[in-house]
């Protein structure tokens, strides 16, 4: 049975801060209007279940993983976010990106 993710706008805002990606890029990737995402992050709006799932997929693309509620830390632990890769892997990727060469698609 899959763990249900209860994401709210504040968790989405934390994910975007962790990914260091603009509202416009995340919204475009998720297929959501940037103003709607901005309102959601501020707690002034809502998104559908489908839009929330699209945000999870978009943030995964930008290197952020969502930690489900509880996640083995007890029933009181809430939803969280973390980097998809550890510090060493992130450093290696940043070095590769700074080496130059032809521009290509980035799966991160």
Between the ranges 5-9, 18-22, 73-77, 101-105, where is the mean pLDDT highest?
18-22
pLDDT band for 3, please (50, 70, 90 cuts). Answer: very low
Query: How far apart, in whole angstroms, are the C-alpha atoms of residue 56 and residue 50?
Result: 10
pLDDT tens-place string over residues 44-68: 999 998 999 999 999 988 889 888 7
For residue 24, pLDDT beyond 90: yes
Residue 41 confidence (pLDDT): 93
Which segments of 1-108 are extended strands (E)?
A: 64-67, 80-83
- Nearest 5 degrees, angle CA 65-CA 37-CA 79? 35
pTM, two decimals, is: 0.69
Domains of the chain: 9-97 (1.10.260.40)
């Amino acid at each position: 049975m899959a763990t249900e993710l209860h994401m709210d706008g504040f968790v989405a805002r934390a994910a975007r801060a962790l990914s260091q990606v603009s509202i416009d890029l995340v919204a475009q990737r998720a297929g959501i209007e940037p103003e709607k995402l901005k309102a959601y992050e501020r707690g002034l709006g809502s998104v559908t279940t489908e839009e929330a799932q699209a945000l999870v997929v978009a943030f995964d693309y930008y290197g952020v993983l969502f930690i489900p509620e509880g996640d083995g830390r007890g029933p009181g632990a809430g939803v969280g976010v973390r980097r998809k890769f550890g510090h060493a892997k992130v450093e290696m990727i940043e070095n590769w990106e700074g080496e130059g060469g032809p521009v290509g698609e980035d799966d991160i």
